[in-house]
Copies of this chain bind each other. A is one copy, B any other.
């Protein structure tokens, strides 16, 4: 698990954690059944509060990406490749929808968006 958190980012830390672990799961970097580090350990390693880690883990569980076995820990959910792809697309499209309406409000055409996007991607 490779996590990079930023204190100064506008995004809350628990969400940065959630997004990065989500991405790693849905990119197949973390396989089904993989055991996430215990909350306390993760908190120490990342230098953040236990509460913050817990919040991220909860969000992951709510999204069906991990499951908790009481007394044993948290594990990456069993997801078929199709399910992973679908969840990934859901997350991508949600973000994309917000961006798209933002671009549209400025009167930017889809062609322009694609052109700019190619430059910075």
Known: A19-B102, A19-B105, A102-B19. A96 touches B67 (CB 8 A): no
Q: Is the CB of B92 within 8 A of A121?
A: no
Interface string of A63-75 (1 = CB under 8 A from B): 0000111101000
Q: Is the CB of A121 within 8 A of B100?
A: yes
Q: Is the CB of B106 within 8 A of A27?
A: yes
CA distance A114 to B102 in the complex (A): 16
Determine the residue in chain B with the shortest Cβ distance to A67: B8
Q: Is the CB of B113 within 8 A of A97?
A: no
Interface string of A30-74 (1 = CB under 8 A from B): 000000000000000000000000000000001000011110100
- Show 17 residue pairs from A and B whose CB-CB distance is below 8 angstroms, ordered by the A residue: A7-B67, A8-B67, A8-B69, A12-B70, A19-B105, A23-B105, A23-B106, A27-B107, A91-B106, A92-B102, A92-B106, A92-B113, A92-B116, A95-B103, A96-B99, A96-B113, A96-B116
Binding site for B on A (CB under 8 A): 7-8, 12, 19-20, 22-23, 26-27, 62, 67-70, 72, 88-89, 91-93, 95-97, 99-100, 102-108, 110, 113-114, 116-118, 120-121
